[in-house]
């Protein structure tokens, strides 16, 4: 494995008491998900994580709020997240990931 993803979950990302995708209260962990406006963190169960079931984000405002909260957990702002995402996209096609 390589180094951790710069926008991945941090220790400051909160873990909720239930899966945000299916509602179960068992085998929970924090994961990150990409939206058109950035990356957000969410609590999901291992089953949903393995199946690729992401929590629903029902509006642009909801996406911006979740991405902004995750930026706070990472100690960065939205511009810094945008720059990191841009660098990640520029690196695509290099045989990694």
Per-residue pLDDT tens over the stretch 1-27 = 344 567 999 999 999 999 999 999 999
- What's the rounded Cα separation, in Å, for the pair 64 and 57? 10
b/e map of 34-55 (b: 16 or more CB within 10 Å)? eeebbbbbbbbbeebbeeeebb
Please list, in sequence order, all residues whose beta carbon lies within 8 angstroms of the beta carbon of residue 95, skipping any fewer than 6 positions away. Answer: none
pLDDT in the model for residue 95: 42
From 47, 61, 39, 52, select the one nearest 19 (Cα to Cα).
Answer: 47
Per-residue pLDDT tens over the stretch 30-87 = 999 999 999 999 999 999 999 999 999 999 999 999 999 999 999 999 999 999 999 9
pLDDT in the model for residue 66: 97
């Amino acid at each position: 494995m390589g180094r951790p993803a710069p926008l991945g979950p941090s220790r400051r990302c909160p873990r909720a008491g239930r899966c945000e995708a299916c509602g179960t209260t068992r085998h929970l962990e924090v994961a990150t998900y990409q939206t058109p406006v950035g990356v957000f963190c969410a609590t999901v169960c291992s089953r949903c994580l393995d199946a690729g079931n992401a929590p629903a984000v029902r509006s642009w405002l909801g996406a911006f709020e979740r991405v902004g909260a995750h930026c706070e957990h990472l100690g960065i702002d939205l511009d810094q997240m945008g720059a990191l995402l841009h660098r990640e996209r520029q690196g695509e096609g290099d045989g990694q990931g």
